[in-house]
Amino acid sequence: MRTLVIGDHIVKSFGEGDEKRNVLNGVSVEINEGEFVAVMGPSGSGKSTLMFALSGTDGVNDGKIVVDGRDLSEMGENELSDLRRTTMGFVFQQPTMLKNLNVLDNIILPAMRDNRKNVATITKKARALMQRVGIAELEKRDITQVSGGQLQRAGICRALMNNPSIIFGDEPTGALNTTSAQEMMDLFSEINSEGTAIMLVTHDAKVAARTERIMFMRDGTIVSDLRLPKFNGTNMEDRVEKVTVKMRELGI
């Protein structure tokens, strides 16, 4: 299996002088192509910072990050944003959608930046994705006229527009009720089974238990890397139990 993302002793600090504090303390991590990973840990342990670092969204102070064979430190701002746009998709707790655009236009926005593609092709793709996640009838709606779960689905469509190799999700189910969260995980599992790697930050053992590997963070380091057996449709309770036991053991 090819390694898609490599983080090698990443150090990230905030503040200057006496105020300077390491938020990532030499984190090393590898994510393979097609892997489905969760990141858990107390609030402030560095989960979002790690995701921003690995995705090249935010620079680091030390260490090396390689994505799809490319060393991020050797790339200029434009190259980096091209790599992010073509290789990665992002889903957040609150989708960052533009209020003056309808659902469809928000979804096609990132793809429109690629001038090699035409609007008709892009729109067709967006409609197929919306169909797939069950929001086809909402394309003309204003984004203030859809539910939180529907908006998250639109966010997933947007993240998938450029066929990313990896989706980074920072607490994507954090604002959803249990049913919507599990529906969203069904969708992520499906996307993952088609070969897209996914890295999800979550506080929810039931969400993490849907992945195949969980990295636990504390104070800017990964303190445990738990691998779960493949999901076979009937071992969910067992998986949740494994995650819960580990969380208790680590005091998370």
Q: How far is the CB of 11 from ligand ADP (least distance, A)?
A: 13
**Torsion of Cα atoms, 84 then 88 then 92 then 97, to 10°:** 60
Would you give the binding string for ligand ADP spanning residues 47-86, x where CB under 6 A is met? xxx-------------------------------------
- CB under 5 to 8 A by kind: which of Mg ion, ligand ADP, none does 14 bind? ligand ADP
Q: Whose Cβ is closer to ligand ADP: residue 51's or residue 160's?
A: 51
Q: Binding to Mg ion by residue 173, rule CB under 5 A? A: no
Q: How far is the CB of 225 from ligand ADP (least distance, A)?
A: 16
Q: Binding to ligand ADP by residue 46, rule CB under 6 A? A: yes
Among 41, 56, 149, 155, contact with ligand ADP (rule: CB under 6 A): 41
What distance in Å separates the CA atoms of residue 76 and residue 81, rounded to the nearest whole number? 9
Q: Whose Cβ is closer to ligand ADP: residue 46's or residue 164's?
A: 46
Q: Which amino acid is residue 46, in one-letter code?
A: G
Q: Binding to ligand ADP by residue 172, rule CB under 6 A? A: no
Contact (CB, 8 A) for 173 and 185: yes
Q: Whose Cβ is closer to ligand ADP: residue 92's or residue 129's?
A: 92
Residue 81 carries which DSSP code? H
Contact (CB, 8 A) for 68 and 4: yes
Cβ neighbors of 105 (< 8 A, separation 6 or more) are: 98
For Mg ion, how many residues bind (rule: CB under 5 A)? 2
Among 23, 72, 207, 247, contact with ligand ADP (rule: CB under 6 A): 23
Q: Binding to ligand ADP by residue 169, rule CB under 6 A? A: no
Q: Binding to Mg ion by residue 48, rule CB under 5 A? A: yes
Q: Whose Cβ is closer to Mg ion: residue 48's or residue 196's?
A: 48
Q: Listing from the earlier edge strand, what are the strands of the sheet with 62-67? A: 21-32, 3-14, 62-67, 70-71
Select from 111, 114, 151 the least CA-distant residue to 130. Answer: 151
Q: How far is the CB of 9 from ligand ADP (least distance, A)?
A: 17
Q: How far is the CB of 170 from ligand ADP (least distance, A)?
A: 7
**Which spans in 39-168 are helix H?**
47-54, 77-87, 103-112, 119-133, 148-160
Which H or E element spans position 180? helix 178-193
Interface residues with ligand ADP (CB under 6 A) are 14, 23, 41, 43-49
